[in-house]
Amino acid sequence: MELLLDTGNVAKIRNAMEYYPVSGVTTNPTILRKEGDVPFWDLIGEIKELIGPQRSLHVQTISSDADGIIREAGIIAERLGMDTYIKIPVDREGLKAIKELASEGFRITATAIYTELQGVLAAMAGASYLAVYYNRMENTSIDADDVIKNLRTCTNECGAKILGASYRNVSQVLSSFHSGAHAVTVNPDIIDKALYSPLVSGAVENFRDDWYSVHGEDSSLLDTL
Ligand code: G3P
């Protein structure tokens, strides 16, 4: 299981890496737009440096034709390294580009997946990750869990990983894992909010009060040494 961050916000990435088991960062033009008019390569370069070589970086192409996508992939790999995952939306042109790039050794994250057919074809074309748009599917009455479950058969055979994406809440994230997603990419705000539970903080407070009542106010385990 993997947790990736679906954000281009450097401060959020830095903070989330400190607290959560983060294995990568995914971006797309919409996500990067939220950071304002920042030069693209500067921002992506900063994110790459911040996450280091152990975490994966997924960068999306813009062109709508296969030749353009392939040229952009070449530039991304040249500037950021061949270990960068090239995010390519799965339509006909995208599939052509995925097939070509995968055969040349590029790492591909197939994205904008709403249907099982898109996922199956992208996996067969050589994509490493299949970014399945959970919330957007739900918005259009497509059963996202069903798509994820069905894709498992093909990912087991092709070696691709299902990367759940487009989330509004942690229930959607957890459902994705239950259905067989190998990874999820989430805006850290969703996790932060879900962890603020009065039940948990109440339990933590009770444990602390019980300790203080025996060992003294504001004492810690170290004060017993
Ligand atoms: O990673 C895909 C994602 O960014 C799309 O999510 O929130 O625009 O539906 P959203």
Q: What is the pLDDT of residues 149-176, one digit of tens each?
A: 999 989 999 999 999 999 999 999 999 9
pTM: 0.95
Rounded distance from Cα 135 to ligand 1 centre (Å) = 8
The answer to whether 122 and 92 are in contact (CB under 8 A) is no
pLDDT digits (tens, 9 = 90+) for 31-54: 999 999 999 999 999 999 999 999
Residue nearest atom 3 in ligand 1 by C-alpha distance: 166
Query: What pLDDT score was predicted for residue 191?
Result: 97
CATH for the stretch 2-186: 3.20.20.70
Dump pLDDT digits (tens) for 58-98.
999 999 999 999 999 999 999 999 999 999 999 999 999 99
pLDDT at 181: 98
| Contact criterion met (CB below 8 Å) for 216 and 223 | yes
Per-position DSSP letters for 170-212, written without gaps between them: HHHHHHHHHHT-SEEEE-HHHHHHHH--HHHHHHHHHHHHHHH
Of 146, 186, 185, 145, residue with least CA distance to 163: 185
- For the stretch 68-77, contacts whose Cβ atoms lie closer than 8 Å and that sit 24 or more positions apart, written own/partner, are 69/93, 69/94, 69/97, 69/101, 70/97, 70/100, 70/101, 73/97, 73/101, 73/106, 77/106
Question: Which residue among 12, 34, 87, 149 is the active-site one?
Answer: 87
Whether residue 31 has its Cβ less than 6 Å from ligand 1: yes
Whether 87 sits among the annotated catalytic residues: the reply is: yes
Distance 81 CA to ligand 1 centre (A): 24
Q: Report the distance separating Cα 179 and Cα 171, nearest Å.
A: 12
C-beta 164 within 6 A of ligand 1 = no
Do residues 80 and 41 touch, judged by C-beta distance below 8 A? no
Ligand 1 centroid–CA 58 distance in Å is 13
- How many separate helices (H) and strands (E) can be counted in the chain? 11, 8
Pocket test for ligand 1, best of 2, 3, 26, 28 (most atoms within 8 A of CB): 28
**Where are the chain's structural domains?**
2-186, 190-225
Residue with tokens 């850290």: 188
